[in-house]
Structure formats: structure tokens, C-alpha cells
Amino acid sequence: MMNVHNNSVPQVADELEQLVLREIALRARSNMPTCVLDLRCGEGRHSVSMAELGARVLAADAPELSGPVKNRALAAGVGGSIRFAPIKKLPEDLPQGPFDLAFCHHGISCLPYAAARQTLHAALKSLRIGGKLFISAYGLHSTLGENYAGVNMPIEQRFCKLTPTLARNYNIQDPVCLYSERNLVTLLFEIGGSVLRSFTTTHGTVKAVAVRV
């Protein structure tokens, strides 16, 4: 039997996180093991939520985040279910699968479009057939897009810094690529994914779920 700590989906999770957690919970109720890649995991909040539902999680991000991720996992009692993979550069350092699911929360927005496409293509190929990719990106039509220098640029060239005020308020100092929902769906089609659904949140963030076929 799988070691499932809790099979209920936290209500505080955002829309995309709820979707991946429901997928994990459904697989857990069917006693199906689930291996998840949490790409650009930050300090591991999403990784912990997924592990608490019984998933084995490979949390991947910059090497300096290893300690915070491991400490959070231990504090939550899921230290044995989360491993950390250091990433210095994408797509070169993308962990190898196979994974059942992949989750990437805003991570592609920190890459130029060409690098994001290569990274997601590799992430999709790291999934088992039928595996799902859950992806979100900063929205072009969100608050972050106010006075954004790349607003009228093609997505392939759109990699600019936010205005100083927004960069300070959101603590995003490096250039970012902002996406429309259509941009994100087009990207997923370009890498060979079959898009199950896409949506834009009330805050303008764009999200999608794609499957490897």
C-alpha cells in the first residue's frame, strides 16, 4: 500500500495546483504510484503538498534552494518522499525521467522563449506516455504587463525587465517572458503536447494542462 498522509486536496491551493493534487489523489485512491517532477520548485511548498498525498517528488531548482526544500520536507514529515535535483541552467540540467506528472509554476517565464520551448519539450519527453504536464506562466495581460517593454514584441523576442516599481513590488529583478493564453497553448502544441485545457485566472496568470501522447 502507498504511504498517503492525506487524500484531501488543500483548498488554499491555486487552480493549477488543485488540478495536479486531484490527479495525485485519484491515483493514490487507485493505489497507483506517482512520480512527479516539480520543476523550478522554489522552497518546496508545492513539492510538500504533492508528497503529502503520496507522490514521490523530484524537486528541481537552483542549488542554493536544496536546504530550504529539505528542511520544509522534514518539517512536514515527508522527507523520505522528496529528493532535490540542482539546476544551474535549463534545459541542460533538466532531470531525466520517467515521470508520471510534471509541474512547473511560473518557471518558464524566467527563460527566453527558445529556452522555455526546449525545456518543456525535454520535460514532456521525460514523461511516460499518458503523463501530464501542468504549467503556468506570468500573464501578458496581468498587472506585470503594465508598461512592459515587450508588450508588442513577438513571443520569440519577448524577454524584458518589468518596470522598476513592479520589479520591486513582486521581487522579480531579472528579465521575464510574459505569455498570453494563446502563446502558452501554441508552445505546448509546438513541443508535441496534446492540450487538455487552458485558462487565464482573474489575476491574468495563464495556465494549461497537456498530456504526452
Q: Is the Cβ–Cβ distance between 150 and 159 less than 8 Å?
A: yes
For residues 166 and 152, give the distance between their C-alpha atoms in angstroms, rounded to a whole number: 19
Q: Which amino acid is at 124?
A: L
Position 12 scores a pLDDT of: 52
For residues 59 and 138, give the distance between their C-alpha atoms in angstroms, rounded to a whole number: 21
- pLDDT, tens digit (0-9, with 9 covering 90-100), for 66-84: 999 999 999 999 999 999 9
User: What is the CB-side half-sphere exposure of residue 120 using CA atoms within 13 A?
Assistant: 36
For residue 108, what is the DSSP state? G
- pLDDT, tens digit (0-9, with 9 covering 90-100), for 7-58: 555 545 588 999 999 999 999 998 888 999 999 999 999 999 999 999 999 9
pTM: 0.90
Helix boundaries (H) for the chain: 15-29, 45-52, 66-76, 113-125, 164-170, 181-190
Domains in the chain, ordered, with CATH?
A: 15-137+178-211 (3.40.50.150)
Position 97 scores a pLDDT of: 85
